Amino acid sequence: MALRILIAEDHAFTLEGMQHALAAHPGIELCAVARGGVAAIALARLHKPDVALLDFAMPDATGLEVFIEIARWSPETRCIIVTGNGTPAVLSRIVAAGVPGLFTKRCPVVAVVDGIRRVARGDKAVSSLAQELLAQAVAEDEAVLTARERQILQAIARGMTNAAMADALGISPKTVDSHRTSLMRKLEANSAPALVLAAIRRGLIAP
């Protein structure tokens, strides 16, 4: 059975190219086309495609916002975001949100088609260029954290209390709390579980 695909892309030229490219591959059926994020949400709810191929930057809703809404209205639909904005910060946001597929617009069509098939099987698919940029983001995060903050982060991940960390590291509980606050600010977390999750997603600690 052919995989049913929804494409959301607001640039007509890019959209036409994607449609033509996918049509050349057997086993893939284009069931809906949206020229914006809001339309993509409505069409995903209507058609329940196997995979939604979403542009990241659309005028009425980003691909990330569309992904979140599709997860509500058509949870069986798997999403891939294709972005022309390949900055580490943007890619990190997409991965952190749990999007199963991520490609830049510089990827060859054959790589995207392979990604569609992998995502449809329940796997994750991230292009090699996106992986390189994400690794760069991790390196930048590691450079931002001090050696002491990395120690505190590891201790928090192990479930240690502030008092236990202070005793183990030979510092005051107040200093531990200061490092914890700094970590939460840098990793944009508001609780210890959220901090650990953010660190895992950025590759700062092992899951």
pLDDT of 31 = 96
- How do the domains of the chain map onto residue ranges? 3-133, 145-201
Tell which CATH architecture fits domain 3-133: 3-Layer(aba) Sandwich (3.40)
CA dist., res. 127 & res. 69, Å (int)? 24
Question: What would the pLDDT profile of 194-205 be if each residue is shown by its tens digit?
Answer: 999 888 877 677
pLDDT of 121 = 96
Q: Are 184 and 202 in contact (CB under 8 A)?
A: no
Least confident of 59-68, 86-95, 147-156: 86-95
pLDDT of 139 = 57
CA dist., res. 204 & res. 200, Å (int)? 6
If one compares 190 and 86, the residue with the highest pLDDT of the two is 190
Instruction: Please say if the pLDDT value at position 102 is more than 90.
Output: yes
CA dist., res. 162 & res. 48, Å (int)? 48
- Classify residue 2 by its DSSP letter: P
pLDDT of 141 = 59
Q: Are 204 and 142 in contact (CB under 8 A)?
A: yes
Question: What would the pLDDT profile of 112-160 be if each residue is shown by its tens digit?
Answer: 999 999 999 999 999 888 888 777 666 555 557 888 998 999 999 999 9
pLDDT of 137 = 63
Q: Per residue, what are the HEC states of 147-168?
A: HHHHHHHHHHHCCCCHHHHHHH
Whole-model pTM above 0.85?
Answer: no
Stretch 30-50: mean pLDDT, rounded? 96
Question: What would the pLDDT profile of 152-186 be if each residue is shown by its tens digit?
Answer: 999 999 999 999 999 999 999 999 999 999 999 88
pLDDT of 143 = 52
Q: Name the fold adopted by 145-201.
A: Arc Repressor Mutant, subunit A (1.10.10)
Tokens encoding 191: 């609780």
For residue 118, give Cα distances in angstroms to 11, 141, 171: 26, 29, 49
Using alpha carbons only, give the angle 97, 197, 40 rounded to the nearest 5 degrees: 10
pLDDT of 150 = 87
- Classify residue 102 by its DSSP letter: E
Residue 200 CA, chain-centre distance (Å), reads 13
In the structure, what pLDDT confidence band is assigned to residue 90 with cuts at 50, 70 and 90? confident
CA dist., res. 52 & res. 75, Å (int)? 11
